[in-house]
Amino acid sequence: MKRADSPWPGIGRFARAYLRSMRPYYSFITGIAGWIGVSFYEFCRPDQSGSPRRLLILTMLFLSWGVNQIINDWLGLPEDRVNAPNRPMVTGELPLRPAVCLSGTLLGAVLLLSWRLNPWAVLPVVAGVLLNVLYEYAKAWSLAGNAVFGLSIAMCTVYGFLAAGPLPPPPLFTSNRLCVLILVAVLNGLMTYYTYFKDVAGDRIAGRRTFIVRHGLRLARCAGIAGAFLPTILFLVFVQRNWIPAEDILYTRDFVFCGVMTLFLQLWTAVRYFRYPAGEETYFSLVTNIRACVAGQVTLIAIFNGTLALYLLCASYVFIGFLFGLHRDARA
């Protein structure tokens, strides 16, 4: 096996290895999370709707998963050597130093562009990067890793809102906005919880004491079934307490349709990991897991823009499956 710091492979091979390491099928996680913020901003400021800056913001959001994933792969090399021995950084196909330098350069460019869009937008970028680094260490503290990961993705929602234009009139923080951020964090914390099933062996060797490593597959499978209902229960609690005003939301067809699809995909994800808690199927269950998380985020967009949510639900479902189909190696 090649070393992770093997010599420069050439621009073409480096680009292909870098792109594979970005895992583009995950890009909808950060992209749609940020789109929530952009959509809500345009709901608050209709005069900014369709602004050309939206394309730039969404491009950065969709790419942000992959750019940060390179840093994750670098920090997670010990467990990846067991869980994913065919990943380009593990085999040496993707040289470590140039890859990390490129991601650092791209993050620097994002910071500069964000400053031009709105200086306040720099804050969630910095917070997201720091949380991404902390995540690799928080995995040693059971569910703390899932909470940190969820918060890091919630920064994409904050970024989309702040980068979309000038700050709207105060108050900036309201109960409904905070509730949406909590739901984004919970959806993504739950998503990453299921991904740990495929990583048990490497996490155990590397000392990553995730919930599954600590408590075993039997309890983790049952917790996964219970967790599938958590986003829905939280949403209903927020509505019942009127933290999310829902006089009209619950009766709109677009929102109800997206919500029902989300609950189905969440339950199907939990059932798949309950039935296949180990082995190659845990990798192929990822596509359902990602779709469930993205569908939940799309449902939050349906609160502000039902038509857009339906388009995003269909497009994300199709393209997540297409991009995942290009990465069929369960050991990568």
Residue 2: inside a domain: no
Question: CA dist 332 to 73, 102, 323, Å?
Answer: 11, 21, 14
Count of structural domains, the chain: 1
Assigned domain for 331 exists: no
123: its two tokens: 């804050």
* pLDDT at position 2: 45
d(CA 185, CA 190): 8
pLDDT, residue 314, reads 97
Provide the pLDDT for residue 211.
93
* pTM metric for this prediction: 0.93
Instruction: Report the Cα 80 to chain-centroid distance in Å.
Output: 19
Q: Output the pLDDT for position 1.
A: 43
Distance of CA 308 to the CA centre of its chain: 20
In a domain, 243, yes or no: yes
For residue 116, tell me if it sits in a domain: yes
Asked whether residue 194 is domain-assigned, the answer is yes
Q: For residue 96, what are the domain limits?
A: 13-325
Q: Note the pLDDT of residue 53.
A: 86
Query: What residues in the chain have per-residue pLDDT under 50?
Result: 1-2, 4
CA distance 175 to 242: 9
pLDDT of residue 8: 61
Alpha carbons within 13 A on the beta-carbon side of 332: 20
* Domain assignment of residue 76, yes or no: yes
Report the sign of the C-alpha dihedral through residues 261, 43, 312, 280, in that order: negative
pLDDT at 23: 94
pLDDT at 83: 87
CB neighbours of residue 151 within 10 Å: 21
What is the predicted pLDDT for the residue at 249? 65
Measuring CA to CA, which residue among 293, 309, 130, 138 is closest to residue 211?
A: 138
Nearest to 295 by CA among 33, 105, 119: 33
Identify which of 273, 263, 275, 269 has the alpha carbon closest to the alpha carbon of residue 230.
263
Does residue 330 fall inside a structural domain? no
6 occurs within a structural domain = no
